[in-house]
RNA sequence: GGGGGCGUAGCUCAGCCUGGUAGAGCAACUGACUUUUAAUCAGUAGGUCUUGGGUUCGAAUCCCAACGCCCUCACCA
């Protein structure tokens, strides 16, 4: 039998339903999200109601049939809505003939509404005993297997709509995602931060070292870049006198895809005038720890084979200390750094000092950063947007937060000296394919008007969600991760548009 | 881009090593059943084995290539 035969069976039922005079794609129906409310209501009325008796009050539920057990003149269904599941029963004796006939034509996956009293079965299962049945939408495609759900990862990502209703754990992750972001927003709003939106399409990109996506605006006939970072726009707002701002929005980077990288990802960036990167450290650890506590119930959470503890304070270690610890070299002793890199097979001959240091750091230190840990005081040349350490100008007042070997946050004491900023924009390091140092004259002009000293912070939201939901892949926390379009079927491309 | 793995019924998976023409469970269809819980019981039907080549008397199985997905390395400072 082919899929079309299975679907034909459902189409036949659709026709029979119409013959009953029923619209198989129903209308407004009260009762959404009632599964949990029904349980609460039953507890409140009479949790010890004897088997066989029913409440005098009726309840309404609307949702999807996930299990269907027809035992003759009685049908039991496991009914899911956004709040959870509840058993619904239809009895031939208690239903109008039309509703009973409709009940016999239901399939797994159909969306129904039911109205009726509550009662317990002899196994103690709370059940809504349908007195009326409303078909809200006929499902024409059989849902995934009821024990295993949908496990094929490709299908799960391509048909997330199926994944979400077939695998309750998946929906739970995205509910947590929403709650965590909501927590961040309120935490910042409570501390006087203003949420703003800055351009996602930019004539000039900057604020990070990454390859951009390009696009074109027809009316102006100009190329635009999808932003790789909102940083330079948010800092312009500091110049404008908005002293505390944040933005939660997408960045786009035209790079590889992995379990930790999606080409579009959600970044939360914030800037606090008159602060510094120490403030950003305490903000970072408190944001994440309070989110863990509020949404997941604890600051200690499992992640893969380990347990992470987000309770502040997180360890703070300097870049130089960690290089000494794991690569056993002095960061400022370049012959030693180059020798250490060479010994590990890391290319170094043609690269700038700071690039070699960074490559050595990634090879030797990063694999150990289970954390949570703040890595602070980076080599200055790697940080063209960061203020130098006044006590040691070789260092920049920057930190990155690492958890489970993932960079989850990046923060600076912001550079607000326009002359230094302009010089930094002109400095290019050998061996860096991409650089943050891209001249932005208007940004320099903004600094010339005077930007308050400030702390700035970027948090990779998707990665934080991964950590707090024990998700191994970034694709498990992004509803529709980027996939290559399926070959079959017509995909409309730019070329088609031109030919049309 | 390199390396490894996977692709069989709508879904979840066997079969491949050792070549002989396709199997199970769930879903579907028919029937029985008024307290089921992954309902049960009896019966029925369902497959271009991702695609294209090759080897062979014979390929889901062995070989090559393409496509897709996953993992990993590189890239992503």
Q: Where in chain A is the domain with CATH 2.40.50.140?
A: 3-143
**Per-residue pLDDT, A486:** 66
Which residues are paired to A217 by β-bridges?
A: A222
Instruction: Please give the model's pTM, rounded to 2 decimal places.
Output: 0.90
Helix (H) or strand (E) holding A302: strand A300-303
Tell me the CA end-to-end span of chain A in Å, nearest whole number. Answer: 39
- Comparing every residue's Cα with the C1' atom of nucleotide B45, the nearest one is A1
Helix (H) or strand (E) holding A103: helix A97-104
Burial A237-273 (b: 16+ CB within 10 A, else e): bbbeeebbbbbbbebbbeeeeeebebbbbbbbbbbbb
The Cα–Cα gap between A380 and A377 comes to 8
Which residues are paired to A216 by β-bridges?
A: A223
Q: Measuring CA to CA, which residue among A33, A36, A41, A31 is closest to residue A49?
A: A41
Window A131-190, strand B contacts by Cβ < 7 Å: 141-142, 144-155, 157
Q: CB-side exposure of A281: number of CA atoms within 13 Å? A: 21
Does any strand B atom come closer than 7 Å to the Cβ of A410?
A: yes
- Comparing every residue's Cα with the C1' atom of nucleotide B70, the nearest one is A153
Window A272-301, strand B contacts by Cβ < 7 Å: none
Phi/psi region, residue A303 (left: phi>0; alpha: psi -120 to 50; beta: rest), is beta
String of DSSP letters for A429-465: -TT-SS-S----HHHHHHHHT----EEEEEEEHHHHH
Bridge pairing between strands A84-91 and A126-129: parallel
Nucleotides of B under 7 A from a protein CB: 1, 9-13, 25-29, 32-40, 45-48, 67-77
Print pLDDT tens along chain A (500 aa). 445 678 888 999 999 999 999 999 989 998 777 899 999 999 998 888 888 889 998 999 999 999 999 999 999 999 999 999 999 999 999 999 999 999 999 999 999 999 999 999 989 999 999 999 999 999 998 899 888 888 888 888 888 999 999 888 899 999 999 999 999 999 999 999 999 999 999 998 888 888 889 889 999 999 999 999 999 999 999 999 999 999 999 999 988 888 899 999 999 999 999 999 999 999 999 999 999 999 999 999 999 888 999 999 999 999 999 999 988 889 888 888 888 888 887 777 778 888 888 888 888 888 889 879 999 999 988 888 999 999 999 999 999 999 998 999 999 999 999 999 988 888 777 766 677 778 888 999 999 999 999 999 999 999 999 999 999 899 999 999 988 876 543 333 443 333 32
**Per-residue pLDDT, A494:** 40
Does any strand B atom come closer than 7 Å to the Cβ of A487?
A: yes
Window A60-79, strand B contacts by Cβ < 7 Å: 67-74, 76, 78
**Per-residue pLDDT, A1:** 40
User: What ipTM was assigned to the predicted interfaces of this complex?
Assistant: 0.86
Q: Where in chain A is the domain with CATH 3.30.930.10?
A: 163-314+371-499
Question: What dotted CATH number matches A163-314+371-499?
Answer: 3.30.930.10
Kindly give the interhelix angle for A461-469 and A277-291, rounded to the nearest 10 degrees: 40
Straight-line distance from CA A149 to C1' B25, in Å? 14
Query: Which nucleotide is the nearest neighbour of A148, by CA and C1'?
Result: B12
Class of domain A3-143: mainly beta
Straight-line distance from CA A158 to C1' B61, in Å? 30
Query: Which nucleotide is the nearest neighbour of A486, by CA and C1'?
Result: B68
**Per-residue pLDDT, A3:** 54
Asked whether the bond before A313 is cis by omega within 30 degrees of 0, the reply is: yes
Query: Residue A303 has which token pair?
Result: 């992640």
Asked whether the bond before A372 is cis by omega within 30 degrees of 0, the reply is: yes
**Per-residue pLDDT, A487:** 54
Backbone angles phi, psi at A141, to 5 degrees: -120, 130
């Amino acid at each position: 039998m082919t899929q079309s035969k299975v679907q034909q069976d459902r189409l036949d039922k659709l026709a029979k339903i119409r013959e009953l005079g029923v619209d198989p794609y129903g209308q407004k129906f009260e009762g959404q999200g009632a599964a949990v409310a029904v349980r609460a209501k039953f507890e409140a009325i009479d949790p010890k109601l004897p088997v066989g008796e029913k409440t005098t009050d009726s309840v309404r539920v609307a949702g999807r049939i996930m299990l269907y057990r027809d035992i003759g003149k009685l049908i039991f269904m496991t009914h899911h809505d956004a709040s959870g599941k509840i058993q619904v029963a239809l009895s031939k004796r208690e239903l109008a003939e039309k509703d009973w006939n409709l009940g016999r034509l239901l399939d797994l996956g159909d969306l129904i509404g039911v109205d009726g009293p509550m009662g317990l079965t002899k196994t103690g299962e709370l059940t809504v005993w349908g007195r009326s049945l409303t078909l809200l939408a006929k499902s024409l495609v059989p849902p995934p297997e009821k024990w295993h759900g949908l496990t094929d990862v490709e299908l799960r990502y391509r048909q997330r709509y199926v994944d979400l209703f077939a695998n309750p754990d998946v929906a739970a992750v995205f509910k947590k995602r929403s709650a965590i972001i909501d927590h961040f927003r309120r935490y910042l709003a409570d501390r006087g931060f203003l949420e703003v939106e800055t351009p996602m399409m930019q004539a000039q990109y900057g604020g990070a070292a990454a390859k951009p996506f390009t696009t074109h605006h027809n009316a102006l006939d100009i190329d635009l870049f999808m932003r790789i970072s909102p940083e330079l726009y948010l800092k312009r707002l500091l110049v404008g006198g908005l002293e505390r701002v944040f933005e939660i929005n997408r960045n786009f980077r035209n790079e590889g895809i992995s379990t930790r990288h999606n080409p579009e990802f959600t970044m939360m960036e914030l800037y606090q005038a008159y602060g510094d990167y120490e403030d950003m450290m305490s903000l970072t650890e408190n944001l994440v720890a309070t989110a863990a506590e509020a949404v997941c119930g604890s600051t200690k959470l499992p992640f893969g084979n380990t347990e992470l503890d987000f309770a502040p304070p997180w360890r703070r270690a300097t870049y130089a200390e960690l290089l000494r610890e794991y690569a056993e070299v002095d960061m400022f002793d370049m012959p030693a750094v180059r020798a250490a890199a060479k010994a590990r097979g890391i290319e170094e001959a043609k690269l700038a000092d700071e690039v070699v240091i960074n490559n050595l750091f990634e090879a030797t230190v990063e694999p150990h950063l289970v954390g949570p840990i703040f890595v602070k005081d980076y080599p200055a040349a790697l940080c063209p947007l960061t203020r130098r350490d006044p006590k040691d100008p070789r260092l920049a007042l920057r930190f990155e937060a690492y958890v489970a070997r993932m960079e989850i946050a990046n923060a600076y004491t912001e550079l607000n000296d326009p002359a230094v900023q302009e010089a930094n924009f002109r400095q290019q390091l050998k061996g860096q394919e991409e650089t943050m140092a891209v001249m932005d004259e208007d940004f320099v002009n903004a600094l010339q008007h005077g930007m308050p000293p400030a702390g700035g912070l970027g948090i990779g939201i998707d990665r934080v969600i991964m950590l707090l939901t024990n998700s191994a892949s970034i694709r498990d926390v992004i509803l529709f991760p980027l996939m290559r379009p399926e070959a079959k079927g017509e995909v409309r491309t730019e070329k088609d548009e031109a030919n049309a």
